[in-house]
Structure 1
Amino acid sequence: MGSVNVKNNKLYFDFRYLGQRCREYTQLENTKQNQKRMTLLLKRIEAEIITNAFDYSDYFPNSNNAKKFAELNGKKNESKSYHNAVASPRLAGFADIWFKEMEVEWRPSHQVSMRGILDSHILPRFGKKKISAITKQDILSFRTDLAKVQTRKGQALSPSRINHIMTPLRMMLNEAADRYEFTSPWKNIKALKVPRTEVDPFNLQEVEKIIQGAPKEFKNYYIIRFYTGLRTGEIDGLTWKQVDLERKQLTVSQSLVRGIISPVKTDGSYRTIDLADRVVQALIEHKQTCHSKQPFVFTNKKGLPLNYQVVSRSVWYPLLESVGLKARNPYQTRHTFATLLLAAGEAPEWIAHQMGHTTTTMLFRVYSRYVPNLTRRDGSAFEAFLALGGDL
């Protein structure tokens, strides 16, 4: 309840509005008649406050509070409009529309990935909520909860995985905001910082140890992985049509991901690799012993393409342990290829092409620290330069 009080023989209002205490002073003398008039006016003010009809500036136009509450009410009205965008659907309904529109742009494997994220994470959390009612706080709370999720191995989701899950939510909110004319809540929300990709290549002696220790049916597989730099999906999806033994070349044009063959991800990934003699010999030997009628170069005992998860679990990691090397993911075979080429002194532009990089920038940023003569850590290149009078 508000009240009419006196200060310096002048009457003033004392009441609460939007959770704040308000005092509005008048020039009226402290008389019974003026007290009665102000008490009636205060009752009207409080009635309007209760019915949400009160406008501060109607009663106190010159008050500093009038401007302050006008701004607050403006934000409140904007928020009301924001949460009640015309024809704005629930997220589940919009997700179906958005997915159908986007899937024609995605590779099959990416479609499977996006569908999985929607069904496992986003729809259970936001599916029943009106898409225009999702707030920034909702988004940040969702991300915080993702950081608490445990994988099957009891590990927390990585920042990269969390960012990947958040991506379709961001895309849908921004697209819906544009279509249904509300303000997207995705403002100033930065992606989680992802640690630099772990690069831990093998040296040449370790490579040979792995190849020699590999099961007979996988020796050629690892020779080709280590000495072509193929990505896992690229070697698992490799067919004999892509291999030209006479020209000693291999064309990378497709990838096997989640059991689905798709074109390579980027124009740069589409490339022709020049094969070393050892790789050519390994392919010739493998062709004589493999399922020659199958289109894929490497298959399991049933003649089906390799499943990288099965190979990693049953062959790769046990192999590293058996030859006394620390566990490293299979992608290190690709990193190893790059560092060996650099150490051999091959032209960076040619190496970048072999790797499927459009420029040499990534090559030097990621791998140069593993090649002492490139990083000049031993000073030998400069010493040779001086000894030969600048003629190298």
Structure 2
Amino acid sequence: MVLSSAQHKLPTGVEHHGNGLRIWFMWQGKRWREPYPYVPTKANIQAAGRLRAKVINLIKLDAFDEQHYLSLFPNTTQIEIHDAVITFANAAQGYLDDLTVSPAVRNEYRKILQSRWMPLLADRAISSITFPELRQMTRDHQWPSNKTRNNCLTPLRRVFEWAVDGELIDSNPAAKLKNLKHQKLPVDPFTREEVAKILGYMHSEFTGMKRIYFHYFELAFNTGMRTSELLALEWDDIDFKSGYALVDKAKVRGVVRNTTKTANFRHVSLNENSIRTICALRELTGTHHSRLLFLAPQTMEPVTSYKAPLKVWKNVLKEQGIRYRRPYNTRHTYASLAFMKAIPIGLIAKQLGHSVTTLAKDYATWMKTEEDKRHLSNINLPSFGGLTIHAGSSIALPSLK
């Protein structure tokens, strides 16, 4: 159905033009107008708005040039057609446009490219950039840590990989920029006593709808689910009969994605505490008929971001005098307690959605059960000189002169 201007509000930068539409935008200090030769149906108006938004985004990135103009408006009469040079900015935008990752990951790569590499390489022809100069740029920059350096190199390499795949260049000049080793901080779980203080305080102090946060964190401690997975959890995902929760979604920046962080669904076993707190939550919020488990107490709308629970979390830890660790450490706590109970590593990995290899690497410190300690205590060397060392005792070493 063809819509008139009175029937449908046009997006910014889209206007009626004859029997079709026209897009306008500001570039190089001038207003540019290009016809969008389709009848103004609702779908075509939305498509014109998306095209205009893409142009504006390229302009904001300082990546819009004649080549982009010609590719987006091939019938234009305002730009002369000539052999365009593919710049790093063009390749970076092309790489971002083709990415099939979560919005959060794409945005992180975009910010790295924009802040770290665009100031150095934006206008350079992609084919002219060499490994020696990239190596020198990397050496000259004062990186706050090896991890930051490695993170910044990831999207840089992938821009050149994109250019190689598109046959714009023959080889990737960033491929030889190797990651540097960095010390990964060990997991920092809460102790049983700290968990009891946190949940005990929430249970006694949180009343009314604020009690939703108690159920949220109790479920986090008892299942090891990621924050994004908890926020996306729906009532249809809970199988009370079998005692499992289906985890196949994640909510990131308020958007539910039909995939988890690792792109693998899993069934999380619910212990008695988990079942009890979910049932109490349903009794508390059931009249609001939401698909999602967790609602914001103030609005009774689904929680859209980790920020609201985070604020509550910080206040509770401060009130209880507990050293701050982020809410994600509820997951580390679940894993470490499972290891201390000698639960098989394969079962823990299945519950958390990790590979066994990743789990063993990240939680190696906690893979020490009381049984392990008893086995190792049998490795005792003979005692000489009548010296007996008791567990927990200290030894006075001779002073060096």
Following the alignment from structure 2 to structure 1, what is the Cα–Cα distance between the partners of residues 140 and 197?
Answer: 44
CA contact (8 A) 1:109 1:260 kept: no
Query: What corresponds to 1:311 in structure 2?
Result: 309
Q: Percent identity over the alignment?
A: 26
Q: Which residue of the other structure, out of 366, 370, 375, is the alignment partner of 2:366?
A: 370
Report the Cα offset of residue 322 of structure 1.
1.7
Q: CA–CA distance in 1 between the matches of 2:138 and 2:111?
A: 17
Which of 85, 89, 94 lines up with 1:92 in the alignment? 89
Candidates 302, 320, 323, aligned match of 2:320: 323
Alignment of 1:224-303 (within 5 A): 224-262=219-257, 263-267=259-263, 269-290=264-285, 292-300=288-296, 301-302=298-299, 303=301
Q: Indicate the residue corresponding to 1:111 in structure 2.
A: 106
Q: How many residues align?
A: 285
Partner Cα distance (1:140, 1:106) in 2: 28
The answer (yes or no) to whether the contact 1:132–1:177 under 8 Å persists in 2 is no
Instruction: Give the conservation status (yes or no) of the 8 Å contact 1:264–1:270.
Output: yes
How far is 1:142 from its partner? 4.4
| Structure 2 residues not aligned, in runs of 5+ | 1-82, 380-401
Matched, 1:175 2:172: no
Q: Deviations over 1:243-297 (max 9, x none)?
A: 1223221111011112221111335x41101111111110111112126322221
Distance 1:293 1:382, change over 3 A: farther
Q: Structure 1 unaligned segments of length 5 or more: list them.
A: 1-85, 149-155, 384-392
Alignment correspondent of 1:132 = 127
Matched letter for residue 333 of structure 1: T
Q: Secondary structure at the match of 1:377?
A: helix
Distance 1:146 1:305, change over 3 A: farther
From the superposition, tell whether residues 328 and 145 of structure 1 become closer, same or farther in structure 2 (CA, over 3 Å).
farther
Shift of residue 130, structure 1, vs aligned partner? 1.2
Taking a change above 3 Å as real, the CA distance of residues 382 and 297 of structure 1, as seen in their structure-2 partners, is farther
* Match 1:348 to one of 345, 348, 363: 345
Q: How does 1:120-199 map to 2 (within 5 A)?
A: 120-143=115-138, 147=142, 156=144, 158-177=145-164, 179-199=167-187
Q: What's the Cα RMSD here?
A: 2.7
Q: Distance in 1 between matches of 2:254 and 2:318?
A: 28
Point out the more displaced range, 272-281 or 200-209.
200-209
- Secondary structure at the aligned position of 1:273 is classed as strand
Q: Compute the displacement of 1:98 (Å).
A: 2.5
CA distance 1:239–1:147, change in 2 (3 Å):
farther
1:205, 1:171 → 2: CA distance?
46
Tell me, in whole angstroms, the C-alpha distance in 2 between the residues paired with 1:290 and 1:236. Answer: 15
CA contact (8 A) 2:339 2:369 kept: no
Structure with the greater alpha carbon radius of gyration? 1
Query: SS where residue 192 of structure 1 aligns?
Result: coil
Q: How far off is 1:161 after superposition?
A: 3.8
Distance 1:276 1:117 in 2: 42
TM-score, length-scaled by structure 2: 0.64
Q: 1:128 to 1:283 in 2, by over 3 A?
A: same
Give the Cα separation in 2 of the matches to 1:141 and 1:319. 48
**Could you tell which deviates more after superposition, 88-97 or 248-257?**
88-97
Correspondence for 2:199: 211
Q: Deviations over 1:127-149 (max 9, x none)?
A: 1111122233443454457645x
Q: 1:368 deviation in Å? A: 4.1
**Is the Cα–Cα contact under 8 Å of residues 373 and 380 in structure 1 kept in the other structure?**
no
Opposite residue 133 of structure 1, the aligned amino acid is S
The 3 A distance-change label for structure 1 pair 238 and 145 is farther
The SS at the match of 1:250 is strand
The answer to whether the Cα contact below 8 Å between 2:157 and 2:172 also exists between their aligned partners in 1 is no
Q: Which amino acid aligns with 1:321?
A: K
Gap change, CA 1:307 and 1:372, over 3 Å in 2: same
More helix by share: 1
